[in-house]
A and B are shown apart, each in its own frame.
Chain A
Amino acid sequence: SQQGEEDPQALSIQEGENATMNCSYKTSINNLQWYRQNSGRGLVHLILIRSNEREKHSGRLRVTLDTSKKSSSLLITASRAADTASYFCATELKAAGNKLTFGGGTRVLVKP
């Protein structure tokens, strides 16, 4: 079964609105990462948050991590049509070394 479960599976918003997606996981992690994938292409790393961090920012991206709830959220502010993509969380498990396990992904559509 997947380590990360993402919610919602799909999201449709207007340009300029904020997009929020959530990721839940099951076991202890070293870090949690978010990646973006444009249709049929490779993944692009967005942001990494370590297990002892609670919030990180990168440009229009804000990531939170709640290890007590085993959950993370990704907020994209002031969305643009170019943000249309699938977004995946990926966890590096404490017990699994250099291995990332990806969540199911959230497909985001930003309408102009």
Chain B
Amino acid sequence: DTEVTQTPKHLVMGMTNKKSLKCEQHMGHRAMYWYKQKAKKPPELMFVYSYEKLSINESVPSRFSPECPNSSLLNLHLHALQPEDSALYLCASSQGPNIETQYFGPGTRLLVL
């Protein structure tokens, strides 16, 4: 299985809602990543998990809360988001923290109303 899956594919939420994005891989990868991508822009790194521990947080607002329950799963919990948080959220994984190739999921397209 060489796939990274993400659910849901699309999400619409209000500014007071709490929702979660999920990412799963079964390639035995030990590093997982969350990226945010706005339209016609490159992906921007948000968080890196290495061996289930948060290793990089790119000064992301606390309304985004990552969680890595085990080596196959990565969640992104969303609370009190703003309309400017609307974007494509991409999950990726790599064999290890020293990387190199990252495998991306199809993304979750988030709209915050």
Query: Which residues does A use to contact B, with CB under 8 Å?
Result: 2, 30-31, 33, 35, 40-45, 48, 88, 92, 97-105, 107
Contact (Cβ within 8 A) B109 A43? no
Contact (Cβ within 8 A) B88 A40? yes
Interfacial chain A residues near B104, Cβ < 8 Å = 35, 42-44
Contact (Cβ within 8 A) B106 A92? no
User: How many angstroms from the CA of A26 to the CA of B48 in the assembled complex?
Assistant: 23
Tell me the interface secondary structure of chain B in the complex: strand
Q: A99-B48, A99-B56 are in contact. Are A45 and B90 (CB under 8 A)?
A: no
Interfacial chain B residues near A100, Cβ < 8 Å = 45, 102
Residue of A nearest to B42 (CB): A102
Contact (Cβ within 8 A) A42 B100? no
Contact (Cβ within 8 A) B97 A45? no
User: How many angstroms from the CA of A100 to the CA of B98 in the assembled complex?
Assistant: 11
Cβ of B43 within 8 Å of any chain A Cβ, yes or no, is yes
Interfacial chain A residues near B94, Cβ < 8 Å = 98
Contact (Cβ within 8 A) B109 A92? no
Contact (Cβ within 8 A) A104 B109? no
